[in-house]
Amino acid sequence: MYRLLFDNVLTRIEPERAHVLTVAALRVMHATCAGTLVSRLTRPDPALAVTAFGRRFPSPLGVAAGLDKNAVMVDALGDLGFGHVEVGTITADPQPGNPRPRLFRLPADRALINRMGFNNRGAERAARVLARRPRRDDLVVGVNIGKNKVVPLAEAPESYRRAARVLAPVADYLAVNVSSPNTPGLRELQHVEALRPLLSAIRSVAGDTPVLVKIAPDMADDELVAILRLAAELGLAGVIVTNTTITRDGLTASPEEIARIGAGGLSGRPLHDRSLAVLRLLAAHNDARLPIVSVGGVADAADVWRRLAAGATLVQGFTAFVYEGPRWAARINRGLRRMLRRSRFDSLAELTASAYR
């Protein structure tokens, strides 16, 4: 039914407007008895639970940053069977983001292109929203933080530190976004020389809240490995790979359509191969056994299983959820349970551990 709704109704609505309507619908569902019923039906099997950053995740599958920019639908998403929700990207101060239109669908490629530009209501507002919600044992909430567009790169550490200071007390973990292509110059912060003081600044105010760094798929392999080693050196809790890509390889959409859309980060199925390749690269160099969160082109239970077998501790999705609808997480969880029963592993943690033997 969702596929019919998406193909015949939602695709006729401007993508960002459709997103706003979806957020409203999920929040209404969560606020009613329907939310309780859905939560019971979609609750992951206990056998799918994994542990990372000192927290129990009911399922390895979570929502990537970008879907819930202001932390207003955390529990509604949790009702659908996700083990964690990463909200944001949130900046120290509110900002409107880039001009519209800034979100585009590529249905034939099961992909999205966005140049949102960290549109959000700011760290103080998000912290208040998160502080008001009751903590749940069955849902982990991460907060993805970024730099305000007007802040010069030289002042980036202080911008991130301000956001981290406000949000760390209400987050189960912080994800440092230095890899979005939609804030001018931001990706320059991924280079180790710039990243070291920035991550150190965030760690200085995060307290006991785990800190991870999210990196782009477009970096050279040696740079990716250097970031992994820096994360281990600084005592970070893990890395998230990967963000969206600026490449346009392998698309079936016409060059004219891609040119019409213009700049932005590409997510979804076209990112699958590179994201998996980056995961395997980092797992091969992960001497410190840092948890790796894999995101990019994840479509079904087989994809999640493949990421765990390649060394990921957690897996995130975004674009496939947009295309597949509210039952997507529950379908993946059921598929993972079936695959686990047929496997030689007693738990998903054993599956991940097998990548490092």
Break the chain into its structural domains and give their ranges: 2-356
Mind telling me the catalytic residues? 180
Q: Which residues are annotated as a binding site for substrate?
A: 69, 114-118, 177, 182, 243-244
| Token pair listed for 187 | 């990706």
Helices (H) and strands (E) in the chain, counts: 14, 13
Q: Record the pTM.
A: 0.93
pLDDT of residue 66: 93
CA 261, CA 119: separation in Å to the nearest integer? 19
Annotated binding-site positions for FMN: 65-69, 89, 144, 177, 214, 242, 268, 297, 318-319
What is the total residue count of the chain?
Answer: 357
- H helical segments located in the chain: 2-8, 15-31, 33-42, 74-78, 123-132, 156-167, 192-206, 221-233, 255-261, 272-284, 301-309, 319-324, 328-342, 348-353
Q: Cα–Cα distance between 181 and 95 in angstroms, integer?
A: 17
pLDDT in tens, 202-242: 999 999 999 999 999 999 999 999 999 999 999 999 999 99
Nearest to 235 by CA among 200, 189, 287, 191: 200
Q: Which residues are annotated as a binding site?
A: 65-69, 89, 114-118, 144, 177, 182, 214, 242-244, 268, 297, 318-319
Distance CA 172, CA 51 (A): 13
pLDDT score of 244: 94
Q: Looking at domain 2-356, which CATH architecture does it have?
A: Alpha-Beta Barrel (3.20)
User: What pLDDT does residue 12 have?
Assistant: 66
What pLDDT is stored for residue 136 in this prediction? 85
User: Can you read off the two tokens belonging to residue 147?
Assistant: 């730099």
The Cβ-side half-sphere exposure at 53, using a 13 Å CA radius, reads 24
In the chain, which residues have pLDDT < 50? none
Predicted confidence at residue 32, as pLDDT, reads 72
